[in-house]
């Protein structure tokens, strides 16, 4: 459908602006079955939360119904989505320990009618230890966020924001989904710890959730002015191949300012480069669909067979 004219940068910017101004018309493919994605990297501050909330906001603007589960006691995703999350508010903590249903902890984001959040409160900080003695401790979230719950609410995407660790909370996130998205900061030591993350995902595939695989890698905080960012980006692409999203997120002050206003950058400054980059990345993620793993490696690859199932 995209001919040359519509591929010009100005035309693309006009399309994005129109999407922000007339939100919620369905302009992206609805997945056949709901996609469940955990955003993980045990390295801190690489853009997990920023990517979770802004990709979710981008998908919701395109008419898809999205749930973000905040599984980090810091509650940063809840803040950015404008969700209430002081101690005592029903949250992912109560869901995980079985003290409430996910429906009871659900909040609609003021940003968009299609965007929902199960917030995290500081109460979640004790959950790692509390869960140790619980039955099915690795599956507390998976058991709670059932297919029935997702279908009942009509969610197209469930996105789980993880804490920067590889403890029981992150394991719970990875048994509750099939896809992992890894944000990688285009900086020194970008790949530090990623090897360990891959080992862990492989172990979870072997022992807890065979369906788990890495379906996307997103380069974040990309500074186009530096040679280093370019080098890191090409190293990551060389290492992981096509699973790396073509769209990268630039380093942008607007992106970092938005959470201070309890907003995603799509709400705070929809015309900014950061907002546009997240809209484009959300579009890419939805249009290309899942990248399943084809071999022993947990790293996804482009589907080879006719993915849209179109008749020849
Ligand atoms: N594209 C960007 N441009 C500028 N700043 C950014 C960008 N992405 C994220 N940041 C800022 O970098 C910091 C870390 O981002 P974020 O909180 O998303 O990382 P994280 O991986 O979730 O961190 P944590 O490991 O603590 O959960 C935040 O202050 C955020 O506002
Ligand atoms: Mg975070």
Q: Is the pLDDT of residue 11 over 90?
A: no
At 51-102, the pLDDT tens digits run 999 999 999 999 999 999 999 999 999 999 999 999 989 999 999 999 999 9
Would 26 be classed as within a structural domain? no
- Is residue 33 within 6 Å of ligand 1 at its C-beta? no
Q: Which SS3 state, helix, strand or coil, does residue 206 take?
A: helix
Q: How many angstroms does the Cα of residue 290 sit away from the middle of ligand 2?
A: 23
Would 215 be classed as within a structural domain? yes
Return the percentage of the chain with pLDDT > 90, whole number.
83
Would 254 be classed as within a structural domain? yes
Share in percent of the chain as helix, strand, coil (round to 5): 45, 15, 45
- Is residue 221 within 6 Å of ligand 1 at its C-beta? yes
- Is residue 50 within 6 Å of ligand 1 at its C-beta? yes
Euclidean distance between CA atoms 138 and 143, whole angstroms: 10
pLDDT at 306: 56
Would 296 be classed as within a structural domain? no
List, in order, residues 6 or more apart from 246 with CB less than 8 Å away.
284
Would 141 be classed as within a structural domain? yes
pLDDT at 116: 98
Would 78 be classed as within a structural domain? yes
Q: Mind giving me the DSSP string for 241-309?
A: GGGB-S--PBP-HHHHHGGGGT--HHHH-TTSHHHHHHHHHHHHHHHH------SSSSB-----S-TT-
Window from 146-150, 222-226, 280-284 with minimum mean pLDDT: 222-226
At 149-163, the pLDDT tens digits run 999 999 999 999 999
Rg of the chain on CA atoms, in Å? 18
Output the residue whose Cα is nearest ligand 1's atom 20: 45
Host domain of residue 198: 31-288
Cβ atoms < 10 Å from Cβ of 212: 23
Would 311 be classed as within a structural domain? no
Q: Is the pLDDT of residue 310 over 80?
A: no
Would 124 be classed as within a structural domain? yes
Q: Domain of 166: which CATH number? A: 3.40.50.300
Closest CA to 257 of 274, 278, 236: 274
Q: Is the pLDDT of residue 305 over 70?
A: no
**Band (309; pLDDT cuts 50, 70, 90):** very low
Number of domains observed in the structure of the chain: 1
Q: How many angstroms does the Cα of residue 84 sit away from the middle of ligand 1?
A: 20
- Is residue 45 within 6 Å of ligand 1 at its C-beta? yes
């Amino acid at each position: 459908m995209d001919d040359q004219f519509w591929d010009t940068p100005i035309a693309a910017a006009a399309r994005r602006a129109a999407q922000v101004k007339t939100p919620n018309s369905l302009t992206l493919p609805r997945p056949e079955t709901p996609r469940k994605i955990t955003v993980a990297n045990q390295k801190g501050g690489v853009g997990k939360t920023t990517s979770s909330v802004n990709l979710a906001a981008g998908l919701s603007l395109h008419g898809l119904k999205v749930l973000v589960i905040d599984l980090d006691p810091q509650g940063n995703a809840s803040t950015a989505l404008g969700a209430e999350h002081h101690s005592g508010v029903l949250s992912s903590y109560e869901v995980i320990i079985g003290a409430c249903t996910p429906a009871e902890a659900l909040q609609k984001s003021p940003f968009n009618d299609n965007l929902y959040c199960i917030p995290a409160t500081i109460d979640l900080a004790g959950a790692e230890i509390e869960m140790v003695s619980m039955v099915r401790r690795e599956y507390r979230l998976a058991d709670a966020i059932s297919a029935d719950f997702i279908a009942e609410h009509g969610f197209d995407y469930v996105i789980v924001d993880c804490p920067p660790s590889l403890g029981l909370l992150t394991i719970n996130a990875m048994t509750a989904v099939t896809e992992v998205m890894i944000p990688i900061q285009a900086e020194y030591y970008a790949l530090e710890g990623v090897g360990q993350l891959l080992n862990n995902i492989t172990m979870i595939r072997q022992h807890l959730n065979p369906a788990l695989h890495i379906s996307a890698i997103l380069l974040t905080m990309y500074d186009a002015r530096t040679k280093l960012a370019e080098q890191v980006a090409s190293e990551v692409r060389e290492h992981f191949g096509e699973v790396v999203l073509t769209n990268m997120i630039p380093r942008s002050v607007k992106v970092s300012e938005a959470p201070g206003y309890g907003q995603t950058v799509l709400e705070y400054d929809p015309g900014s480069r950061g907002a546009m980059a997240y809209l484009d990345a959300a579009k890419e993620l939805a249009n290309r669909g899942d990248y399943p793993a084809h071999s022993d490696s947990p790293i996804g690859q482009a589907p080879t067979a006719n993915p849209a199932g179109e008749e020849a």
